[in-house]
Structure 1
């Protein structure tokens, strides 16, 4: 019976350990609860709107730099020089530069919405930041008002507490009273004699 009990206990421990291992593995495989589940596969291609927003912000940041203006200027100058000075058979955009105009128009038509998208994302971030700042300011104001009330209560309490100067004045008054009594007692003792 002792061996059977031991085997039963060992099986129970082994089953418990494997159950613990399974639950640990399930916990590792489990997706975080604060994140939405990823949708199942569909035939429609999936995209991350945040990735597109981040890309548009990077492009908008680059379009707003002097480096972009310098590269654009160099490219246009080289384009024009090539299409004027190169041999006729190597020119790909003759004098009215229609292809250059088309390329610049295409670049502008894509740049404007990307810049607007980046501005919208920035305004959303600013709005969230302002809301957090407003809440922090409200908490700071509440804390300041609380501390002000506490300081006022302490001042009122200090008005009722004996201060060093008040105690000194009271002791001096008592000392004068004692000296006066001693003087009066000394005079009455002299009269009695």
Structure 2
């Protein structure tokens, strides 16, 4: 094949001679990638850590842990030498307790962080509710003040009675003046 024909075939529609690229379709989701780490649900893991932290903070855990340590020490002190798995300095017991503590501490911290997040949301909702309550109270205070001001202009029963009594006195005075007038 001549070199000119090969060059024409290698040209892309835009006229460049670069190798054609694979076009990415934007209307389709990307294929899932393989992960080295296992996938997990953070919410479920958080709930799991809260259950663990809740258990670690109970007297039941302390009792079981104490019983386990006492049995461990008694077995490794009084059992026959061939059946002991941890000799006197109890290095394996220390390792197990360190391992338990190294997992318990982050789980407790995770549970505390989740509780802090819940508390923050609750406080924010309480703050918004308090703002609404204050706004409602201020509105009602303005309405009551407006009603009091307008009640000052409303005729009450006692005010109408006193006005009618004043008018009655005034009419009696005019009648008395009319009777004592020049006709008599």
Q: State the TM-score, normalized to the length of structure 1.
A: 0.72
Distance 1:124 1:80, change over 3 A: same
Pick the aligned partner of 1:108 from 97, 101, 108: 101
For residues 3-58 of structure 1, give each alpha carbon's deviation from its aligned partner in whole angstroms, at most 9, with x where no partner exists.
xxxxxxxxxxxxxxxxxxxxxxxxxxxxxxxxxxx996543342111111111111
Separation in 1, partners of 2:77, 2:136: 73
Aligned to 1:5: none
Pick the aligned partner of 2:88 from 92, 95, 114: 95
Separation in 2, partners of 1:132, 1:117: 23
* Residue 43 of structure 2 corresponds to residue 43 of structure 1: no
Distance 1:145 1:62, change over 3 A: same
Separation in 1, partners of 2:132, 2:86: 65
Separation in 1, partners of 2:142, 2:135: 11
Separation in 2, partners of 1:40, 1:170: 91
* Residue 131 of structure 2 corresponds to residue 144 of structure 1: no
Aligned to 1:56: 49
Separation in 2, partners of 1:100, 1:136: 53
CA RMSD of aligned residues (A): 2.1
* Residue 58 of structure 2 corresponds to residue 65 of structure 1: yes
Q: Find the residue that maps to 1:160 and give its secondary structure.
A: coil
Q: Find the residue that maps to 2:152 and give its secondary structure.
A: helix
Unaligned runs of 5+ in 1: 1-37
Deviation at 1:185, TM superposition (A): 3.7
Pick the aligned partner of 1:158 from 144, 151, 163: 151
Separation in 2, partners of 1:174, 1:117: 84
- Larger helix percent: 1
Q: Find the residue that maps to 1:52 and give its secondary structure.
A: helix
Separation in 2, partners of 1:80, 1:74: 10
